[in-house]
Amino acid sequence: MTRVESPMTRWPRLAAVLMLHAAFLAFLSGWPRADARAAEDTETLEQRVKAAYLYKFAGYIEWPAKSFSRSDTPVTIGVMGNELLAAELIQAVTGRTVNDRVVTVKRLKAGDSLAGIHVLFIGKTESARLNQLAQSAQPRSILTVTESDGALAHGSVINFVLNDGRVRFEIALDSAEKSGLKLSSRLLAVAQEVRTGMP
Amino acid sequence: MTRLENPAVAGHTSSAAHRPARTLTGALAVMVFVHGHTAELRVSDLADLSLEQLANIEVTSVSRRAERLADAPASIYVITNEDIRRSGVTSLPEALRLAPNLEVARTSASGYAITARGFNSTTANKLLVLIDGRSVYTPLFSGVFWDAQDVMLEDVERIEVISGPGGTLWGANAMNGVINVITRQAQATQGTVVNVGGGNLESGGSFRYGGRVAADGHYRVYGKFFDRENTERANGTEVPDAWHKGQIGFRADWGGASRSFTLQGDAYTGKLDQTQPGKTTIDGMNLLGRWFQRLAGGSDIRVQTYLDHTERDVPGTFREELDIFDLEFQQALPRAASHRILWGGGYRYARDRVQNSAVLAFLPADRNLDWANLFVQDEIRISETVEFTAGIKFERNDYTGWETLPSLRLAWKPYAYQLLWTALSRAVRAPSRLDRDLFVPGNPPFVLAGGPDFRSEIANILEVGYRGQPLSAVSFSITAFYHDYDHLRSLEPAPGGTCVSLAAPGNTCVLGNLIEGTSKGVEAWGAYQVMRAWRLSGGVVFLDLDLERKPGSLDPTGPVALGNDPAYQWQLRSSHNLTDKHELDILVRSIGALPGPDVPAYTAVDVRLGWRLIRDVELSLTLQNLFDSSHPEFGAPATRSEYQRGVFLKLSWRI
pLDDT band at residue B16 using 50, 70 and 90 as cut-offs: very low
Instruction: Give the tens place of pLDDT for each residue, B530-544.
Output: 887 899 999 999 999
**pLDDT of B503:** 81
- Name the residue facing B531 among A32, A40, A152 (closest C-beta): A32
Mean pLDDT of chain B: 88
Q: Cβ separation of B605 and A14 shorter than 8 Å?
A: yes
Asked, for residue B310, whether it belongs to a domain, the answer is yes
Asked, for residue B6, whether it belongs to a domain, the answer is no
Q: Cβ separation of A7 and B601 shorter than 8 Å?
A: yes
**pLDDT of A12:** 58
Write the secondary structure of B94-124 as one string of H (helix), E (strand) and C (coil): HHHCCCCCCEEEECCCCCEEEECCCCCCCCC
Count of structural domains, chain B:
1
* Region class of A164: left (phi > 0), else alpha (psi between -120 and 50), else beta: left
Is the per-residue pLDDT at B480 higher than 60? Answer: yes
Asked, for residue B5, whether it belongs to a domain, the answer is no
pLDDT band at residue B40 using 50, 70 and 90 as cut-offs: low
Instruction: List, in sequence order, every residue forming a beta bridge with B396; answer none if it has no partner.
Output: B372, B402
Q: Cβ separation of A1 and B595 shorter than 8 Å?
A: yes
**A2 vs B contacts (CB less than 8 Å):** 593, 598, 600
pLDDT band at residue B34 using 50, 70 and 90 as cut-offs: very low
- Name the residue facing B598 among A1, A92, A165 (closest C-beta): A1
**A75 vs B contacts (CB less than 8 Å):** none
Give the residue with greater pLDDT, A2 vs B134: B134
Separation in Å, CA A124 to CA A39, A84, A169, B158, B391? 21, 12, 15, 20, 30
Is the per-residue pLDDT at B226 higher than 80? Answer: yes
Helix (H) or strand (E) holding A24: helix A7-29
Interface check for A185 against chain B (CB to CB < 8 A): the answer is no
The residue range of the domain holding B286 is 16-654
> For testing the chain B interface, which of A17, A45, A196 should be mutated: the one with the most B CBs within 10 Å?
A45
**pLDDT of A111:** 85
Asked, for residue B7, whether it belongs to a domain, the answer is no
> For testing the chain A interface, which of B5, B49, B58, B59 should be mutated: the one with the most A CBs within 10 Å?
B59
Is the per-residue pLDDT at B240 higher than 70? Answer: yes
**pLDDT of A95:** 87
Over range B336-357, report the average pLDDT: 93
- Over pLDDT 70: what percentage of chain B? 91
> For testing the chain B interface, which of A9, A35, A41 should be mutated: the one with the most B CBs within 10 Å?
A35
> For testing the chain B interface, which of A190, A193, A194, A196 should be mutated: the one with the most B CBs within 10 Å?
A190
**pLDDT of B313:** 95
Give residues with Cβ within 8 angstroms of A185, minimum separation 6. none
CA distance B405 to chain A (A): 35
> For testing the chain A interface, which of B4, B41, B43 should be mutated: the one with the most A CBs within 10 Å?
B43
From the list B332, B323, B336, the residue with the least C-alpha distance to B303 is B332
Asked, for residue B256, whether it belongs to a domain, the answer is yes
- Name the residue facing A161 among B66, B187, B600 (closest C-beta): B187
Interface check for A199 against chain B (CB to CB < 8 A): the answer is yes
Interface check for A32 against chain B (CB to CB < 8 A): the answer is yes
Q: Cβ separation of A37 and B2 shorter than 8 Å?
A: no
Q: Is B226 helix (H, G, I), strand (E, B) or coil?
A: strand
Cβ contacts from A onto B, under 8 A: 198
- Name the residue facing B56 among A18, A152, A166 (closest C-beta): A166
> For strand B457-471 and strand B448-449, is the pairing parallel, antiparallel, or unpaired?
unpaired
Is the per-residue pLDDT at B326 higher than 50? Answer: yes
Over range B556-564, report the average pLDDT: 91
Instruction: Give the tens place of pLDDT for each residue, B423-470.
Output: 999 999 999 999 999 999 989 889 999 999 999 999 999 999 999 888
**pLDDT of B221:** 98
**B578 vs A contacts (CB less than 8 Å):** 24-25, 28
The span from the CA of B655 to the CA of B640, in Å, is 43
Instruction: Give the tens place of pLDDT for each residue, B494-552.
Output: 998 899 988 888 899 999 999 999 999 999 999 998 887 899 999 999 999 999 999 99
* Region class of B422: left (phi > 0), else alpha (psi between -120 and 50), else beta: beta
Is the per-residue pLDDT at B66 higher than 50? Answer: no
Give the residue with greater pLDDT, A43 vs B125: B125
Supply the DSSP symbol for B181.
Answer: E
Q: Distance between alpha carbon B22 and the CA centroid of its chain, in Å?
A: 49
CA distance B538 to chain A (A): 14
Asked, for residue B190, whether it belongs to a domain, the answer is yes
- Name the residue facing B65 among A43, A48, A167 (closest C-beta): A43
What is the CATH number for B140? Answer: 2.40.170.20
Helix (H) or strand (E) holding A27: helix A7-29
Length of chain B: 655
Write the secondary structure of B481-549 as one string of H (helix), E (strand) and C (coil): EEEEEEEEEEEEECCCCCCCCCCCCCCCEEEEEEEEEEEEEEEEEEEEEEECCEEEEEEEEEEEEEEEE
Contact status, residue B365 vs residue B351, Cβ threshold 8 Å: no
Instruction: Give the tens place of pLDDT for each residue, B274-287.
Output: 988 899 999 999 99
CA of B62: which chain A residue's CA is closest? Answer: A42
Interface check for A8 against chain B (CB to CB < 8 A): the answer is no
The span from the CA of B291 to the CA of B288, in Å, is 10
Give residues with Cβ within 8 angstroms of B629, minimum separation 6. B644, B645
Is the per-residue pLDDT at B10 higher than 70? Answer: no
User: In chain A, which among 124-163 make CB contacts under 8 A with chain B?
Assistant: 127, 148-154, 161-163
**In tens digits, what is the pLDDT along chain A, a chain of 199 residues?**
444 444 445 555 555 556 666 555 444 443 333 333 443 444 678 899 999 999 999 999 999 999 999 988 999 999 998 988 999 999 899 889 998 999 999 999 888 899 999 999 999 888 778 888 998 999 999 999 999 888 888 889 999 998 877 899 999 999 999 999 999 999 999 998 898 876 5
The span from the CA of A180 to the CA of B181, in Å, is 45
Is the per-residue pLDDT at B166 higher than 90? Answer: no
Q: Cβ separation of B185 and A149 shorter than 8 Å?
A: yes
Contact status, residue B359 vs residue B316, Cβ threshold 8 Å: yes
CA distance B56 to chain A (A): 6
Give residues with Cβ within 8 angstroms of A141, minimum separation 6. A63, A64, A66, A67, A118, A179, A180, A181
**pLDDT of B320:** 94
